Structure formats: C-alpha cells, structure tokens
Amino acid sequence: MGISSNRVENFECRETVLTIPAEAMLPPPPQQEEEIHKVCLPPKQTTFQKLKHKLSEVFFPDDPFYKFQNQSWLRKVILGLQSLFPVFEWGPGYTLALFKSDIVSGLTIASLAIPQGISYAKLANLPPIIGLYSSFVPPLIYSILGSSRHLAVGPVSIASLVMGSMITEAVSYNEQPTLYLKLAFTATFFAGVFQASLGLLRLGFVIDFLSKATLVGFMAGAAVIVSLQQLKGLLGISHFTSKMQLIPVMSSVFHRKDEWSWQTIVLGFIFLLILLGTRHISIKKPKLFWISAAAPLTSVILSTLLVFLLREKAPGISVIGHLPKGINPPSLNMLYFTGPQLALAIKTGIITGILSLTEGIAVGRTFAGLKNYQVDGNKEMMAIGFMNMAGSFSSCYVTTGSFSRSAVNYNAGAQTAISNVVMSAAVLITLLFLMPLFHYTPNFILAAIIITAVIGLIDYQAACRLWKVDKLDFVACVCSFFGILFISVPMGLAIAVGVSVFKILLHVTRPNTIVLGNISGTQIFQNLDRYRDASRVPSFLILAIESPIYFANSTYLQERILRWVREEEERVKATNDSPLKCVILDMTAVTSIDTSGIETVCELRKMLMQKSLQFVLANPGGNTMEKLHKSDALERFEFNGLYLSVGEAVKDISSLWKRLP
C-alpha cells in the first residue's frame, strides 16, 4: 500500500494499488497504516456525449421511450398510439359497471358545470353562452387525449379572471364586442399553442417556477379580487369599474351607493348564505359532497323561478336576458393574427396558458396520487394544449381541469374520462333545448356562485404552514398576494416568481460555510455547532461549503473562508491550543464550479500558503475535478492536496507531520 503524494500527472486511477512516485522523498509510512485513496477524474466524455447526457436529463428525465425498448414492431405502434391517445389504454377494458359510475359522476359535475360555466364567462367579461360552449367541446377532446381519470374539464375562475382583466385593459366588451371576442379566442389559441409546445418540447419544468408558495398567495389574492368584484352583482350596481385592483373596485362599490338595489341585496345575500352553508356542510362531512354539488343548479332554478314570479314587482333585479340556442359556432375566422392587439393576445395567452396548465396539472396529479396512478406532465400539457386549440376554433375560451369540479367528480365515483363525455352530453342538451329557461336567471345568483367557488382558494392554513416552515416562501406568498391585489395580475405573478428566483440566488450568493469536527471513534465529520459529540481536530480547520462555487459567490466565499481562518487563529491564540497548520475544504456539497470559482480556489491556496498554511480539498465532485483539471489549476499551483474524504486527509496529513517534525 503506500501513501500518495496526489500529484497531478497521473490522474487516471484504475486500480486501488497506488504507485509511489519516484520523486517521493518522504520516508515510507508504517505498513499497518490504512490505504489512502486517490481522487479520480470522472470517465472521459466528449463534449458531444456530455451535451447529449445533459440534454437528455433536461428534456427526458423520465426516459419516456423505455417502454418501447425490445418490443416488436406492432407492439411499438400500439404503445405509441396508447401514449398519444390514452383512450386506447383504458378504452378496451371499459365495462358497463364503470359506465354506470361515470354516468352518475358526469351528471353531477354537469349540474355544477352549467351554472359555473355561465358565471365564469361573466368573470372574463364574455357572454354567458361562451361558458357553456367551453364546457362542451374541450371535455370531449380531453377524454381522448388526457391521462387523468378524474379531471373535470371546463372554464376555471383564475384563468377567466386573468383573461378578463388583461383584455379589458385594452378593449372594452361593451364598446367593441367583436374585437373583444376575437382577442379572447386568439388568446385561447395562443394559450393552447403555448401549452402544447411546452409539452412537445418537454419544457414542462417552466411551470415548476410557479412554486406552491407563490400559488397560495396568488390564488388568495385572485379570490379576494374576484369576490369583491361580485359585489357588482350582489348589490345590483350597473356602472362598475373594469379595473381589477383593490382600490378602484372598492371605490366603485362605495361611490355607486345610489345604484344599490335592496331587493337584489336581500335575495343575493340569502342565496349566498345558503350556498356557503352547503359548502360548509360538505367540508365538514365529505360524504355529503352532493349537497354542495347540487346547490348551485338548485339555486339557479329557484332564483330564476323567484325572479320570474317577481318580474312585475321587482323589475330592478338584473337578469341574464336572452341566450341563443344551438351548439358552438365555428370561430376559426375570429382568430386575429395581425394588428396592434396581437401582442396583447399572445401575452394574455401565455399567462392564462401557464396558469391554467399549473392548475390542471396540479389537480390531475393530486387525484392520480389518491388513486395511485401516474399522470405524465408533458403528455397532460399536450392534451390541455390541443384541447384549448380546438376550443379556440369552436367559440370556447381557456379551459383546464377545475379543482372544485374534479373533487366532486372524484367523490361522485368517476372512473374514467367518460364522465367528461357525459357532462358534455348534458351541456349539449342544455345548449340545444334549455337556453330560454335562463332568461330570468338573475345576475346575483351568478355572483353568489362565483364567491362560493373562489372562497375555497383562500388557504390561510397553507400560509400559516409556510410561515412556520420557510419564511422566504411566506414572503413570496405575501408578495404575490399583495401584488395581485394592488398592482396587477401579471405584475403580481412576476413579483412572486422574482422572489422565488431571488431565494435561489440568495442561497447561491451567500452559501453556508460550516466548521466540522470529528465524532470520536468514527470517520464521520460533522457540524460542530450541531453535534455536541463532535470535537475539533487540533491544528486543522475543516470547512464544509454548502453550495456550488460560482461567479455569484466566489468573492464572498473567499472573504468568508479567510475570516474563518482569522477567527480560528485568534481562538487558538486565546486558548493556547495547538497552532493552526492546515485548512481542509470539504467539497462534498460543492456540486459545481465555474471559472470564477476555480480562480477563487487558486487564490485562496496562494493566500493561505503565504500564511504557511496547508490547503487541502476533500472529496471534490466529478464536475469540480474535471474543471480544475481542464483549467490547469491543479498543475499550475502544484496541487498535491486532494483527498477522497476528510477522514483520510486528516489521517494522512497528521501522519506526515509526525514523520516530518
């Protein structure tokens, strides 16, 4: 065996038997001493191989083609079809029993989807009928393409709110209804294109940047804004701001007191209380989910009847009015690819696309987790994307999987995407025959339905948990909440994503450095602050750096390490300990290094050498070793201080000191 003066010339170590270099002038170590292992470079790869590996990790981390390996030609075609159209996967095994469950759940969600569809369309400043169109075509497409069995597809509150607020900033529906519709369909088209291309290009990780913390704040902010906006319907105000921020909405409410209609207020708040009550019951007893599921449609029917009967006595209650019969008209000719508003349509499409994707994927994953099946994120993105593209051709606006309706779907026993088909059929019947019945449906009931639906988005318990566990996550949450409340939806989102990214950068810019001590009787070196049975190794300062060494932190790390050394020297002086002779940098957590980082390491070595201190790296990672090697940093500084572990470094260096007093 033998000690290694880890010289750089022979980095490739294939065997454990190490050769003693001829120039080793040191006396041979005692034979019973344990072997010291060399630090190896990673196996050589060409730039192309590395790029290929990196790209496959970035785009294909789940190795989507593994199923196709070693399969016959026919089987590959079938597998390909199945992965493109999940309907081929579960379709052949579909039974009557499953169909019975799907009919029940499909009808249940239809009873929610019809009133919610009408309401959410109003949230997006669109005609109510668009909400029903959007509950008809997209669910059919999804049932063929989607891989979630419980997702209930249709318009959702957040995407409706964002689309409405963004388009209304430029165009008013009341003044230019056709242009507004064109922009809405075009934005839907771009949302679909964006979603599908995220899936196709396997860039699904983009939505990961909307962290949960951000979403909690964002959802809560949106829910508050949406609820306050519903005061328009609940109070019967006819002139209301089109802005989405807290201040103009509240000033609209209080500057229009003359428009408040007491009949609307009384009826509106009664129905709101009923709806909130049913919601509360279903939360307390999840088995009674059907109460809150049935409540919206029942309330619509009751309130419509009531308003119809009172139409002479209380003519001030505003109603939906005439709705055209018939299925979705084609809207390909409404798409808008030139002109000054194109940029707005694209921007709106991308933002609503991201938001609806985030909701859809999260909902799909949640229910897949409950039933133990997998939802492939990239495939879901394509499904949702194609569904929205198809929607934009057939007078639908942005749709995705709704959390509340999917929960009802799940509780009502949905088994496959057929429940979406059943829901579509119910919507179809409504569109063909029942539209005139909605003539007297009052606007206040739509407002009450929206408030009941969005109130659940305010998850203050989640916010408390964030505060408890991670203060910076809480800050991101609060920023997105107030951002959407006081500035605007896109700015709120941008601020929240900014805070999340800042958090990552802060961690990289100011990484932890910790002092390690040995846990006696072991080769384990641990944080001195945390482990009382860890103790300092005399004459050594062992520092662990807890981050990659990058341009963003190299200056800091250099200063900080020099300060540790200074403080250790002062401590040694004050306690009359044995003087500091060697600084070991535990590089285990230094998972990457860049050119600035390499310079810092070299610079540190130089500065510590001037103080007559040895400077040694322990367990540098493959990536780090490779870069130190390529940059000639090892050779240039005659780097002979590389060890595989802190333990071996301490053992080897102390035995050297013993032999060379």
**Binders of its own copies among 234-293, rule CB under 8 A?**
none
Stretch that binds its own copies, among 271-279, 335-343, 481-489, 617-625 (CB under 8 A): 617-625
Q: Is 622 in the site for its own copies (CB under 8 A)?
A: yes
Block residue for tokens 């305010």:
458
Q: Is 372 in the site for its own copies (CB under 8 A)?
A: yes
Block residue for tokens 């802060």:
506
Which is nearer to its own copies, 20 or 519 (by Cβ)? 519
Interface residue with its own copies, options 418, 450, 475, 552 (CB under 8 A): 552
CB of 575 to its own copies, least distance (A): 16
Q: Is 212 in the site for its own copies (CB under 8 A)?
A: yes
Q: Is 471 in the site for its own copies (CB under 8 A)?
A: yes
Q: Is 631 in the site for its own copies (CB under 8 A)?
A: yes
Interface residue with its own copies, options 85, 88, 90, 209 (CB under 8 A): 209
Which is nearer to its own copies, 54 or 75 (by Cβ)? 54
Q: Can you list the alpha helix ranges (DSSP code H) found in 230-288?
A: 231-235, 246-255, 262-284
Tell me how far apart the alpha carbons of residues 158 and 533 are, in angstroms, rounded to a whole number: 53
Which is nearer to its own copies, 127 or 620 (by Cβ)? 620
Which is nearer to its own copies, 348 or 500 (by Cβ)? 500
Q: Is 47 in the site for its own copies (CB under 8 A)?
A: yes
Which is nearer to its own copies, 172 or 509 (by Cβ)? 509
Stretch that binds its own copies, among 50-58, 146-154, 257-265, 448-456 (CB under 8 A): 50-58
Q: Is 465 in the site for its own copies (CB under 8 A)?
A: yes
The CA-to-CA distance between both ends of the chain, in Å, stands at: 23
Between CA 189 and CA 199, with CA 193 as vertex, the angle to 5 degrees is 145
CB of 212 to its own copies, least distance (A): 5
Q: What does residue 516 show for φ and ψ, rounded to 5 degrees?
A: -100, 150
CB of 503 to its own copies, least distance (A): 8
Q: Is 377 in the site for its own copies (CB under 8 A)?
A: yes
Q: Is 546 in the site for its own copies (CB under 8 A)?
A: yes
Tokens of 611: 């103080």
Tokens of 220: 């809560």
Question: How many C-beta neighbours within 10 Å does residue 436 have?
Answer: 11
**Binders of its own copies among 25-44, rule CB under 8 A?**
34-35, 37, 40-43
Tokens of 194: 């964006």
The tally of CA atoms less than 13 A away on the side-chain side of residue 365 is: 11
Which is nearer to its own copies, 150 or 405 (by Cβ)? 150
**Binders of its own copies among 491-530, rule CB under 8 A?**
500-501, 503-512, 519, 521-524, 526-527, 529-530
Q: Is 10 in the site for its own copies (CB under 8 A)?
A: no
For residue 369, count CB atoms less than 10 angstroms from its CB and return exposed for 0-12, middle for 13-18, buried for 19 or more.
exposed
Q: Is 208 in the site for its own copies (CB under 8 A)?
A: yes
Q: Is 635 in the site for its own copies (CB under 8 A)?
A: no
Which is nearer to its own copies, 164 or 548 (by Cβ)? 548
Which is nearer to its own copies, 256 or 627 (by Cβ)? 627
Q: Is 551 in the site for its own copies (CB under 8 A)?
A: yes
Which is nearer to its own copies, 67 or 439 (by Cβ)? 67
**How is 112-131 classified by DSSP, letter by letter?**
HHHHHHHHHHHHTT--HHHH
Q: Where are the beta strands (DSSP E) in 520-650?
A: 525-527, 534-535, 540-545, 582-586, 614-618, 642-643
Which is nearer to its own copies, 156 or 475 (by Cβ)? 475
CB of 301 to its own copies, least distance (A): 41
Task: Using the CB atoms, write b or e for 476-506: b if 16+ within 10 Å.
Answer: bbbbbbbbbbeebbbebbebbbbbbeebeee
Tell me how far apart the alpha carbons of residues 449 and 234 are, in angstroms, rounded to a whole number: 11
CA neighbor of 543 nearest in space, from 520, 521, 566:
566
Tell me how far apart the alpha carbons of residues 23 and 644 are, in angstroms, rounded to a whole number: 22
Which is nearer to its own copies, 405 or 627 (by Cβ)? 627
Q: Is 198 in the site for its own copies (CB under 8 A)?
A: no
CB of 208 to its own copies, least distance (A): 5
Q: Please say whether the beta carbons of 131 and 120 come within 8 A.
A: yes
Q: Please say whether the beta carbons of 657 and 538 come within 8 A.
A: no
Task: Using the CB atoms, write b or e for 383-411: b if 16+ within 10 Å.
Answer: bbbbbbbbbbbbbbbbbbbbbbbbbbbbb
Q: Is 553 in the site for its own copies (CB under 8 A)?
A: yes
Tell me how far apart the alpha carbons of residues 55 and 183 are, in angstroms, rounded to a whole number: 36
Interface residue with its own copies, options 49, 178, 238, 555 (CB under 8 A): 555
Per-residue contact track with its own copies, 574 to 613, x per CB under 8 A? Answer: --------------xx-xx-xxx-xx---x------x---
Which is nearer to its own copies, 276 or 462 (by Cβ)? 462
Question: How many residues interact with its own copies (rule CB under 8 A)?
Answer: 97
